[in-house]
Structures are given as C-alpha cells and as structure tokens.
Structure 1
C-alpha cells in the first residue's frame, strides 16, 4: 500500500470497535502497521514507517490526517491540529475549514452517532468509506490488508468496469466495487447507521462564480505558497521534464529547498520529439543544480508488474508508465527521500488547451463589450476562423466528451462559460495524478500545482486572461518570466512520446493479445471484438492506441486482482 495509507475505525460504541479490531491485531502487526490513535470510540492504524501525520482531537472524538496549512503557508502542528480535530464538523464548519486552511488532509469527527468526513479540495489523500457491524471505516488505500473488514456485500461492479473499458484512462469518481463509497475532493460526507449524506463544500465552479474579476489572487504568489509549503524542509526527488510546469515548480522553490532535492530527474528517449534534455538542462543551470538524465529503452510490461499496482480501489491510471514509476520509486528509497515533486496539473490550472471556446468565454463574460482583438488573436493562435458554426460544434463536442464523467465537480456548472467548464473538466481528470502508483508506495507523490491555492488562482481568472495574447498558459509565463529560462518560456511545442510508446507497446503485443483477449474482461463480454484487429504493430505505429491498450491492461489486472481477493475472502 501507499506510504500515505491509513485506516480509521469509528465505533457506534466501544464494544463494536473492539469487536472489529481484536481479530485483526496480529494481521496488522505482521504487515508492519501500528496503532496511531486510540480513543474509546475510534482508532487509527497506518504503516509504522508511513508518511502521514495523524493527530487525535483533544476530546478523543475526531482525527486529522495529513498536512494542513494556514493561508500564509504555516503548517499546523501539535495542539493546533488537536483543537481542529475536536470541533463539530457540520456544513458551516467545513466551509470555514476550506476557506481558512488548505493542504493534503482528511478531517474526521464523530458526533450524535454519525461520522463526518471532510476531504481536502485538492484530493491529495484518497478517501473511501463504508459501514460494517456498527463500525464506520475510513480508508486512504485499498490494499488487501483491509479485506477482512470489507462489507460482506462487496463485489466487482461490472457496470462501472464496463464504463472504464469504454473510456480507458479517464478518471471516474465512482468505484468499480459495490458496498464502498468514495469521498470526493472538497466533499463533506456524513455516515452512520442508516445515514448517508453528502454535500460538496468546495467545487471549482463555485470558486469561479464567487471570484472578484477585478482582483483575482496573485498567480505567482499562489504558486510559490503552494510549492514552498508542500515542499517544507523535506528531501525530495523532483521531476524536471523540460516543460513549463515542472520549470515553474523548480523556480517556486526556495534556494534552501532546491538544495534539499536529492535528484532532479529527466527521462528522455532517442528521438528528437521525446528528448527534452536541452530545456531541462537550461532550468538546472539557472538554479545551479545537477540534472539526472535517464535514458528510456522499451517498457516493462507483464502480468506480474501490472498486478503490483492493482490493489487500489480503482485501476492504477497514475501508474500507466511503469518504467517511470519504478525509477522514481527506486530513487526515493535509495536516496532516502520523503517522496516526489511533479509539475502535474499545470496544463489544466494554467490553461494549456487550445480551443475556440475561449472566444465564447469572452462573449459570455463581456456580452456586448467583447473585444474584437481577443477573438482575432485567438483565431490567429488556433489558425481557425471563429465562425458561429465552428464555435457551436466545439461546444457540443466538449459537452459530449464530459457527458459520461461522474465527478461531482461537473454536476453544477451553471453560470460557467464553455472554456472555463473545459478547464474544470480537465481539473477533475487531474484527480488521476493524485491516485496511487508504484512510486507512491515509497513516498507521497506531491503535485503542488493541484494544491488549493493554485487551483483557486487559476479558476479566478478567465480563460482569456490565462491565455492572453493567444498563447497557452500565458499568465503563468508572464508570472515567472524572470525565473524560468527564456528557452522554456518561448517554447511553443510539447514533448511527444507517442511514437516511442507505440514501439515499446508493440514489443509486448503477444503478451497483450493473450492477456486481454483471454482475460477476465473478455470473459465478461466487455472487450470490443475489433480489438483483435488493433493488436498489430502496424496499427500501433501508424494509428496509435498505445494508451488505450495500457489502460485496458491496467483494468484487466485490477479485475483479476480483486476477483482473487474477493474469492479468497469468501473461502
């Protein structure tokens, strides 16, 4: 399980709690887990060498898990954490917590026979809840340690698995398991005997609707706050891909924090589109650090490797590149780092998406005051005319694209213009990056650009302002123009690894053919008959599809693993 794994048990009464824990004590101990919190009605367990800070409320009826910061980036410690954990947690209090603090956390509070759980708006720590025999269980990970505690009704939800197969690689909030309830980022969930209430306390759409267009949060200050607070005084493995987003994260760190980075890692391949070392080296030289260059050859892909990442509550979409994840995991362990820092999420929060819908946002937000020059620059950038028919077609396509998504952030987009809605759908997809992977088993994977302050700064700006002048991530480029090398700022292309992955996956076609066409998904009738024709080298190299195949393989591995786990539990 991940380094930030934990499970909290809250009993309706002390006897129910003891009955749940007593038969599991030896199992927990053998797996290297220990008790972190003990109170009459609740207990919390986590790996003895885990990375989560777990604090009991001062009155013994609440728990705070993870890292919490005030709006100046100060980390809550000791008594402050205990006080927060002993206050009532209703809707008003949850809103106050989300507006006063931020971080990677779960806040749990027992009251009047119910348990309230607040998950932080960034979704930095996963959260799944269920009830069994008078006890509420709150888990941050889905490893097989927890199997004896799962509800008797837990089974694979084949309808949700079918949805994963139809849209491989896309984040789905709903779990492909029955009897378990996921808690969304920014959600307050109340659960008890016969009680299941949910309220979305924080949503990107609400941030946009409540913004002050004349005075949005300072983008650079928000990024610096998010990056420096989350990095703290710990040792990290940092991604330096050569792209803008990881360069911004590097620039936002303090000099002392950059000195504590154990390795600045760049993965490259032997063709021009996939070799971004020149850009990464420019960033490294700017900050006086050494770049660790990792040459990629092929792809590790097999049943055993896929199974390693298949224990979560969902297929491990964040582990889609096994070689990258294995390399970072090994560096975390050998260099004794706390975890990894990435630039993931920057494309969404800074708005990288080239779309005509930005023009619709200009018209939506300014009505008759829409600026012709904005529409002209957008047309030049995209090299497309802004005809009404083209705008309407792109809007319909975006609505169709997100129509099957299930994330609560997309349930209320009233008053949100089309390109901003596209940004919100991209941010909901970015919850994938907060999910488990092999590298997160060694230490947490931190994505500072998906922290609450950074998301709120990006959401408070119109898509026009974020792409001002007809340039993707224009506001972010301007904010860090003095700290990011010009060769990166002025770059108009992104690294392209499609051809590399196509060739690498093609080397494993015999395995994939057998694994997918003769596996659990095929047995359940969920594999498209046309997949057989697409499992050819020619199709992969000329038409693509490697991402779909890798995602299907992950889903297959997940189904096989959970089928075995549930069968063993029933035996």
Structure 2
C-alpha cells in the first residue's frame, strides 16, 4: 500500500454506505486499514500508518484529504480544514479554493444526488472515481483492498493499452481500465445518479494568459514558499543528484529543515557521464551536510520486481528505475523518514528544453518589437540559424508530437505561443513524477517544483525570460545565484545515464525476451513482430531503445496484475 492511499465512500443514503462497507470491514482491518472519517453519508478508510491528513467537514457532508496551505504557506488548522470541507463545491467555489489555497489535496463535497471532487492543480495525490450500488467511490491509489468495490463491468481497456505501447513512457490521463474515471490535476469532477460532468478549474495555459507582463512573479520567493511549506518540520530523505534543480530545492530549505534531512542521497554509476558526485559534493559542502553516495550496478529486473510496481491505476512509469526507488524506500524505512524530497519537474517549470521556438515566442509576444539580441542569443545557444523555415519546421513537429496526447491541460492552448505550449506539454508529462513508485509505499514522494506556486511562477514568465541570454533555466540560475555553488550554476552539461541503462538492459535480455514475447500483451496481439529482432545486444547498444523496452515490460506486468485482480474480485 502507498503512503498516500485512501478510499472515500459517499453514499446516496446511509443504508447504501453501510451495505458497501459491512462485507469488507474485516478485510480492511486485516490489511492494516482503519476508518478515518465515519459520518452517516461519508466514510474514509486509509492505512493506519499512512501519511495523509484526513479531515471530515464539520457538517458531515464533506472531507478534505491531504495537505493544504494558504497563500503565505501556512498550513490550515484542523478547524479551518473542517470548515473548508463543509462548504458547497460548485465551479465558483472551486475557483476560489484554487486561488486562495494550494497544496497536495483532494476536496470532496456531497450534495443532493451527487458528489463533487476537486483535485489540486499539482496533481500530487492521484484521484480515480466510480459508482457502484448507490455509492460514489474516490480512490487515491489502486491498493487491492478496493477490488471488491470495483464496478462489476470494469475491465482492461485494450485500446488504451495499445496507446500506451505506441507512446511508451509518456503520461496518459486516460486509464487503461473501463468504468473508472480519472480526475485531472485542477479538475472539478461531479458524479452522481444522473451521470457526471467535468470542469477544468485550473490549467497552465490560463496562468499564462492571465499573467501581468509588467509585474513578473518572484520566482525565488515562490520556490522558497513551496519548499519550506511542504518540507515542514518533518524528517526527509532528500535527493542531491548533482543537477541544478535538486540543488535549488536544497538551497530553498531553511537551516533548521536541512538539519532534519536524514540522508542526502546521490546515486552514481561507473560511467563518466553518469557520475555527478563532484557537483553533489559541492552542494553538500556549501550547506555543511553529509552526502550519502550510492554506487549503482545493473538493474534489478525480474517478474517479481515489476509486479511490485503494478498495483496502480496505470503502468508505473515513475518506477522505471527500480534500483533507485528500492534504495530510497529502504532508507525512508530505516531512517524513519516521512518521505522523499526531490527536484523533479524543474526542467519543465524552469524551462530546460533547448528549442528554437523560444525565438518564435519573442516574435509572437512582441511582434515588430522583437529584439534582435534575443534572437541572436537563442541562435548562439542552440548553434543553429534562426531561419523562419527552421522555426516553422520545429513548430510543426511540436504540434504533431502533442496531437496524440489526451491530457486536459493541452485541450485549450489558444493564444499560447509555441515555446510556452511546449512548456505546458512538458508539465503535463511531469504528472508522471507525481505517480506512484515503490518508494512512495514507505513515505510520501514530494516534488516541490511541481507545486502550484512554482508552476504558476514559471508559467507567468515568458520563455524568453526563463532562458534569458540563451541559457536554459537562466531565470532560476539568476534567482539562486547566491545560494547554489558556481560549479552548478556555470555547468553546461547534464548527467546522462542512457549508456548505463542500455548496458543494464542488455544483461537482462534473456528475461525480457521470455517475459514479453510469451506474455499477456503478445497474447492480445499488441506486440510488434519486429520486437524479436530488437531484443538483441547489438541492436540495443547501437540503436538504443532501452527505455521503450522498460516501459513495455512495465505495461506487461501491469496487464498481468490487473488481469488477475479483475478475474478474482469478489466480496
């Protein structure tokens, strides 16, 4: 079970709620789950040692799940949480909540005949809803305790599985399961006896469209606010990869918070491009902390390990590096930490993507006032001429790439310039990092750079400002120039583990061949006949494709796991 697991049951009437709970109460108890909220119309169950704050509305018709903060970064007191949970949750109220508060939360409110669910804009807590027997179910995770409650008609959606295989490793909002409805980050989903409806309350494009170009946000203040609020006074295992983003998270912590970090962890390999210890050591020295260096050797890749990450509503793309996740999970448990703290998402929110489209944004936003020095710096950064034909070609490729995506954030990009649209699509992909992994079973995995305040600050700055002077993440570098070692700030390269993963997958080819060519996907006719030829050492070393193979193996494990779960569900 995940640290952020919970299931919320909202009955059309008390009798329906009781009928749903009574047959599974012992099952829940045996699995270590307990009742956190018990009202006539609403019940909430979660692991006894879970990490979620759960507060029932004062009137018994709502519930707030997770952490929520005001604009100053102060956590709401229990009474204020209870008040928030007992107010109506129509569109106007949902917009006010997203405007006045932020965090890692779900807000659920019952009214006559329907249930409204608001998922916070960061998407830090998963949310899937369905109806059965006069009860609306809201689940934050796919732990097998929910199996007796799943819709009787639910099954594997093979069309969605095929889509996952066509675009491996990318985040798909839609579920490869029928009769279950995912709630997107920033979405207000209403479901009831008369059906359901959806309103996207928060989307990145709206943040850009509402920006005030004359009063740009304070990027550093947004990062410090988010990092310090989310870290709180808890004990953490913190990632210190050697990259800029994790260094910024470390810098944003207060002195007292850094002292509470139980381990600053750097994973490295015996490939020069994958050994970033010198950079991580510089950050550790700067803050006077001890760095824990973990040497990586191969990948633990077998059917049992893949299955361990398959208890989710989607294949576990966030668990694609099993050794990293296992190591962090073990440290969280051994050090009695609350969870793990990462710098994931910084590449998107600070704009790391090298693209000529930044030049097109300058022209788009300033028209005839476009600055020649900006266009020149972008051309020099990418070492490519900024011809209109090259801009048009890159723009067409970006539009084509995101056309197959299904994320609600990408449904309305009107008046959003090309590089900014690329940033929005990158943020949609970053929802992968908010998904479950084995490390999140031991403690919450918190990514402060994907929090609402930081995303909004990055989105409100133009792509030109974010990359000023022809430099990726230039605004972030400038904001933290006094807090991050110059070795990191001046760094032009980025760690690369492709060769390491390629070698590791080569050593597991016999297992992958048997697992994939004789598995459930092959039986369903979804394995490309050409895969056999690609499962060779020479092909992987010369042409790559290891990440696609790992994603395919995760999908295979997920299908096997859910085929078994759906086949034996019963009350």
Report the TM-score range of the alignment, normalised by the length of the smaller protein: over 0.9
1:401 maps to which residue? 401
Shift of 1:542: 1.6
The correspondence of residues 34-45 of structure 1 with structure 2, limited to 5 A, is 34-45=34-45
The correspondence of residues 334-373 of structure 1 with structure 2, limited to 5 A, is 334-373=334-373
2:506 maps to which residue? 506
Computed over aligned residues only, the root mean square deviation of the Cα atoms, in angstroms, reads 0.7
2:217 maps to which residue? 217
2:479 maps to which residue? 479
Q: For 1:114-169, what per-residue CA distance to the aligned partner results, in whole angstroms no more than 9, with x for missing partners? A: 10000000001000000001000000000111000000110000000000000010
Query: Secondary structure at 1:413's aligned position in 2?
Result: coil
1:469 maps to which residue? 469
Query: Secondary structure at 1:237's aligned position in 2?
Result: strand
Query: Secondary structure at 1:52's aligned position in 2?
Result: coil
1:21 maps to which residue? 21
Mapped partners of 2:176, 2:279: distance in 1: 41
Q: For 1:465-522, what per-residue CA distance to the aligned partner results, in whole angstroms no more than 9, with x for missing partners? A: 0000000000000000000000000000000110000000100000001111111111
2:425 maps to which residue? 425
Q: For 1:521-564, what per-residue CA distance to the aligned partner results, in whole angstroms no more than 9, with x for missing partners? A: 11111111111111111111121111000000000000000001
Mapped partners of 1:216, 1:71: distance in 2: 17
Hey, which bits of structure 1, 4+ residues long, moved more than 4 A?
none
Verify the 8 A CA contact 2:160 2:176 in the aligned structure 1: yes
Verify the 8 A CA contact 2:148 2:570 in the aligned structure 1: no
Shift of 1:194: 2.2
Query: Secondary structure at 1:103's aligned position in 2?
Result: strand
Verify the 8 A CA contact 2:147 2:570 in the aligned structure 1: no
Mapped partners of 1:175, 1:14: distance in 2: 30
1:139 maps to which residue? 139
Mapped partners of 1:53, 1:355: distance in 2: 41
Shift of 1:426: 0.1
Confirm or deny that 1:453 pairs with 2:439: no
2:390 maps to which residue? 390
1:279 maps to which residue? 279
Q: Give the TM-score of the pair, scaled to structure 1.
A: 0.99
The correspondence of residues 296-335 of structure 1 with structure 2, limited to 5 A, is 296-335=296-335
1:3 maps to which residue? 3
Mapped partners of 1:265, 1:22: distance in 2: 45
1:113 maps to which residue? 113
Mapped partners of 1:215, 1:331: distance in 2: 43
Mapped partners of 1:385, 1:526: distance in 2: 42
1:68 maps to which residue? 68
Shift of 1:417: 0.2
Query: Secondary structure at 2:215's aligned position in 1?
Result: coil
2:55 maps to which residue? 55
Mapped partners of 2:510, 2:263: distance in 1: 36
Shift of 1:195: 2.0
Q: For 1:335-358, what per-residue CA distance to the aligned partner results, in whole angstroms no more than 9, with x for missing partners? A: 000000000000000000000000
Mapped partners of 1:373, 1:540: distance in 2: 43
Mapped partners of 2:222, 2:472: distance in 1: 19
Mapped partners of 2:234, 2:113: distance in 1: 39
Shift of 1:101: 0.2
2:227 maps to which residue? 227
Q: For 1:272-325, what per-residue CA distance to the aligned partner results, in whole angstroms no more than 9, with x for missing partners? A: 100000000000000000000000001100000000010100000000000000
1:440 maps to which residue? 440
Mapped partners of 1:25, 1:342: distance in 2: 36
Q: Give the TM-score of the pair, scaled to structure 2.
A: 0.99
Segments of structure 2 that go 5 or more residues without pairing to the other structure are none
Shift of 1:570: 6.3
1:561 maps to which residue? 561
The correspondence of residues 238-317 of structure 1 with structure 2, limited to 5 A, is 238-317=238-317
Segments of structure 1 that go 5 or more residues without pairing to the other structure are none
Mapped partners of 2:215, 2:550: distance in 1: 44
